[in-house]
Amino acid sequence: MDEKRESYYSCKCSEMEEFKKAAERFAVEIRKRVEELRRRRDQLKSVYKDLQKSSIEADNLEVKAAEIRKAELLAMKEKAISDLESNKQLRAELEKQLQKAMDSGGSGTVKKDNIPDSTKRKQNQVLKSALNTILKGKSPSSGQGSSSSSSSSRVAPQ
């Protein structure tokens, strides 16, 4: 009976040793897996921080590009306003010159009293159309019929 007991205990002891070894192997494997998971977590944290940083940098670049575009548009607006003011001044001066030419009768050699009213009206129309076409950027001869060109030949240059 002692032998049976001894063999039973030795069998149980060997089973316990096997179990301990299996438990140790399992514990080692689990530790390795935990370490691998921790390492991957740290990598993911690092990648996440890098992505956040690059996203912020990209946003900053977009903001800077928008600010540059805004500055360009403001400069274009200022130039357009300046050009508009310049054009208004030019137009006012041309209108003054036209009014002066209309008041003087268009010619120094012909007296104002000797010019018929119809001729004065034609001269005024020709001068107005010339001014309008100049202001619009067209040539003075375009947009006028042959009657206006014949009446413009009567107007002496100033």
- From first to last of its 158 residues, the chain has per-residue pLDDT tens of 788 888 888 888 999 999 999 999 999 999 999 999 999 999 999 999 998 888 888 888 889 999 999 999 999 999 999 999 999 998 888 888 888 888 886 554 444 556 667 777 777 777 777 777 777 764 444 444 434 433 444 444 44
Residue 23: inside a domain, yes or no? no
Q: Which of 64, 127, 136 is nearest to 96 (CA)?
A: 127
Domain containing residue 111: 105-158
Q: Answer yes or no: pTM beyond 0.75.
A: no
Residue 35 belongs to a domain:
no
Q: How many CB atoms lie within 10 A of CB 106?
A: 23
Task: Locate 64 and state its tokens.
Answer: 């800077």
How many separate domains does the chain show? 1
Domain assignment present for residue 78? The answer is: no
The enclosing H or E element of 69 equals: helix 2-104
User: 83 in a domain, yes or no?
Assistant: no
Residue 64 lies in a domain: no
Q: What are phi and psi of 14, to 5 degrees?
A: -65, -35
CA–CA distances in Å: residue 94 to residues 101, 106, 131: 10, 15, 7
The reply to whether 136 falls in a domain is yes
